[in-house]
Chains A and B, each alone.
Chain A
């Protein structure tokens, strides 16, 4: 065979080689490149604690020799919680940095903007940091997987609680006008069943708004005695503060994503935050009953070593740790280190107890179940700490 022909043949072979069969972009025998976007600036910057925790965890892993001999190159970019910037940053990570996959990209509107793109690129979009129900559609979006309990289920839990415990409820709902807010709202309405007319005031806010003061005033005037607060930390703190200032004292249901004592309740005022109810799936760092558990000790040692000086009452540090642990577990037990293989490994986890998740709530995934954590328990704030009550409610059963 002449050289010319040989070259032609190899050229054709290279062209017809289908990379989808064994796509190992970003993965070598000694390293793995992982991308992330996080709101280090902008209205949701309270969540940046999560990005910082994951970055610190990966640094720690690398000092210990990485995962199965692979060092981790973790690239976390700021998207300011702004969907168009998420698109740009995701494209930069996938196409320029050539990461193996994206992990814990944060936010519902932001992830929505890259949902289709990631699936077109056949690049894993793993354990996204949002609880919208759309992340668990393995048939339609086989490359995207959620992490935390879904918002609609959480909404349903609150609705049932209200129906069982409040006499003559008149409900006001404040929600962020996007898929995150609507998921919570719709789950709540579904939970009310045929008693939807108990909702007497339902007001949206935009994430670009400066405050939610006017909504709170209108809700007080509506005469509601139950307030379902579907807001991200900045607005949650404003809502708590404002309702306290104007002396509106309804039964206050606060969505889990703003249950951080450090970044929401403290800025709003701990006294104002008394009696607020939320649903939790993680061990809240302010709850003393966890102090002696192995999981808490592990997290605490990590915080001492990697993030000294951080405000431990901010549950987002625990969240970032749980997510990191889940990724660590997934990659450590993964034999097939390709994009497809990693996706398969993420969809094959049974009974994994994460250190800062409530004891008894475990991670379970399968080829048809892309919702890793699916159970929660109600909790009430006593002015200092969250106190769990009732039973663990498991949506997967």
Chain B
């Protein structure tokens, strides 16, 4: 029996197109736009982690800002104190946050739904405080945080921002492919079975504890990698960067992009950065228009009304209707 290869030709084409679009965009984007998109991609990577955890595995987290922060700080500390090459810090950031997520997954096993959400909430709220602790100040830079230089261009002639943008984009595509393969594998079906009916899943012989903690670990790892890219893009980390709001925005980005989807993560990240930006500009147009947060809020409500499955969900439905 020959199992079908999960990577179909159509899918390979989609991902190749994504790489192509990323490179093409680089030629038209200004340095500032490249920086903005890099930030959006960093959030997007974290949102991808959240999608796997919440959308596919059914575990809730409003504490992903903690893993995002951990990834950012691991990267920043290695660059500042050990003089590592910025990109070399990424695997370490991934490893550290995977372990963190995996370990956090154990107590999380006993918590379901809202209780897990609360536990992760505590993690998110505590993170900025922990980063400010005097005992760690030598390493974390305390309240003022750490400043470092951006990675040098990967090849000459490229600006610093464009180079980082390109690397982030490529890593994002690789991670998307990885997520797709994971979710379409035997493990992926197990992950989703746990979401749909944990009791049935365990009857089928799925090791709930192992799958749930590993999924939590993978999700945290993606948040950590996103955080590390975020740190590189800003060349600066400080505790209050990673407040609880980041966790909420990640969740918002995830839902808006499409929580049970992979491409939704990209859309969610872009929405996170550009939604706020345009809301701000829109509000500045006239005194009559309410402040940016009101605009942003109205936009969100409209989104949930007209596209309850997120932007990607709307695209899929629209496409299905067209094909009919």
A residues in contact (CB < 8 Å) with B = 82-84, 87-88, 91-92, 95-96, 109, 112-113, 115-117, 177-179, 206-208
Contact = CB atoms under 8 A, between A and B. Distances in A.
Interface string B22-34: 0000000011110
B143 A178 contact: yes
Contacts of A88: 234
Given A91-B32, A92-B32, A96-B30, A84 B238 contact: yes
B238 A83 contact: yes
Given A84-B241, A96-B30, A177 B236 contact: no
A112 B240 CA distance: 14
B236 A87 contact: yes
B148 to A, nearest CB: 9
Nearest to B129: A206
Contacts of A179: 144
Interface of B: 30-33, 35, 128, 132, 142-145, 147, 234-236, 238, 240-241, 243
Nearest to B241: A84
Contacts of B132: 177, 206
B77 to A, nearest CB: 17
Q: Which 6 A-B pairs have the closest CB atoms?
A: A95-B32, A84-B241, A96-B32, A178-B143, A177-B143, A83-B238
Contact of B35 (A95, A112, A178): A95
Contacts of A96: 30, 32-33
A95 B142 CA distance: 29
Contact of A83 (B31, B35, B142, B240): B240
A82 B33 CA distance: 21
Given A95-B31, A96-B32, A113-B238, 14 more contacts: A82-B240, A83-B240, A84-B238, A87-B236, A91-B35, A92-B32, A95-B30, A109-B144, A112-B144, A115-B147, A116-B147, A117-B235, A208-B128, A208-B243
A84 B65 CA distance: 15
Nearest to A115: B147
Contact of B236 (A82, A92, A113, A208): A113
Nearest to A84: B241
A269 B145 CA distance: 36
Contacts of A87: 234, 236
Contacts of B30: 95-96
A148 to B, nearest CB: 20
Residue from the set A82, A84, A91, A115 with the largest chain B CB neighbour count within 10 Å: A84
B32 A83 contact: no
Given A116-B147, A206-B132, A83 B241 contact: yes
B239 to A, nearest CB: 9
